[in-house]
Chains A and B, each alone.
Chain A
Amino acid sequence: MSDRQLSDPLRFLLRALVFLALMLALWWLVLLNPLLAGLRLSAELTLRLLPGGSSVSHVTIGPDRNWTFQVPAPAAVVNQERTQQMLAASAGGSGRIKIRSIKVEGAGRFPVLFTVSLPLYWAILLAAPGRRRLLRISCGTAVLAAFALLSIAVYAIRLVGGYFHLAMEGLPGFLMDSAAYLATGVVPYFGPVLVALSLNGELRGLILTGEVAPAAAAFVSAGSRRRRRR
Chain B
Amino acid sequence: MARKPSPSHTRAVQAEKASAPPRKNRMLRFLLLFPIFLALGFCGLLIPFLHPAVTGFTRGLVEISAIVIRLFGGSATAHQVVLQSPSNGFAMEVIDGCNGDDVVVLLWAAILAYPASWKQKGKGLLTGTGAIYVINFLRIISLFYLGQYNRQWFEFAHLYVWESVFVLFTLTIFWMWVRRTAAPRGI
Name A's B-contacting residues (CB within 8 A).
1, 5-6, 8-10, 12-13, 16-17, 20, 24, 28, 109, 112-113, 116, 119-120, 123-124, 174, 177-178, 181-182, 184-186, 188-190, 192-193, 207-210
Contacts and interface: CB of A to CB of B under 8 A. Distances in A.
Contacts of B102: 185-186, 189-190
Interface in B42-89: 42-43, 46, 48
A182 B169 contact: no
Nearest to B43: A178
Nearest to A5: B179
B179 to A, nearest CB: 4
B159 A116 contact: yes
Top-7 shortest CB links A-B: A210-B183, A9-B175, A5-B179, A185-B97, A13-B172, A120-B164, A9-B172
Given A181-B46, A193-B106, A208-B114, 18 more contacts: A5-B179, A6-B179, A8-B179, A9-B175, A9-B179, A17-B168, A24-B161, A181-B97, A182-B42, A186-B102, A189-B102, A189-B164, A189-B167, A190-B102, A190-B106, A193-B167, A209-B183, A209-B187
Interface string B81-118: 00000000000000001000010001000000010000
A191 B79 CA distance: 34
Nearest to B164: A120
19 contacts: A1-B179, A8-B179, A9-B179, A10-B172, A13-B172, A17-B168, A20-B164, A20-B165, A28-B156, A119-B160, A124-B171, A174-B48, A178-B46, A189-B164, A190-B167, A193-B167, A207-B175, A208-B27, A209-B27
Contact of A13 (B30, B46, B168): B168
Contact of A207 (B160, B163, B174): B174
A10 B175 CA distance: 9
B36 to A, nearest CB: 14
B167 A116 contact: no
Contacts of A178: 42-43, 46
A9 B168 CA distance: 10
Contacts of A185: 97, 102
Contacts of B164: 20, 24, 116, 119-120, 123, 189
B169 A174 contact: no
B175 A12 contact: yes
Interface residues of B, number: 35
B78 to A, nearest CB: 23
A13 B179 contact: no
Given A20-B168, A119-B164, A6 B23 contact: no
Contacts of A109: 155, 159
A193 B171 contact: yes
B160 A116 contact: yes
A208 B179 contact: no
A120 B46 contact: no
Nearest to B162: A189
A124 B168 contact: yes
A186 B41 CA distance: 12
Contact of B186 (A9, A17, A210): A210
A8 B174 CA distance: 12
B86 to A, nearest CB: 28
B30 A208 contact: yes
B133 interface: no
Contacts of A186: 42, 102
Max chain A Cβ within 10 angstroms of own Cβ: one of B23, B43, B155, B163: B163
Nearest to A184: B97
A185 B171 CA distance: 17
Contacts of B159: 109, 112-113, 116
A80 B33 CA distance: 44
Contacts of A123: 164, 168
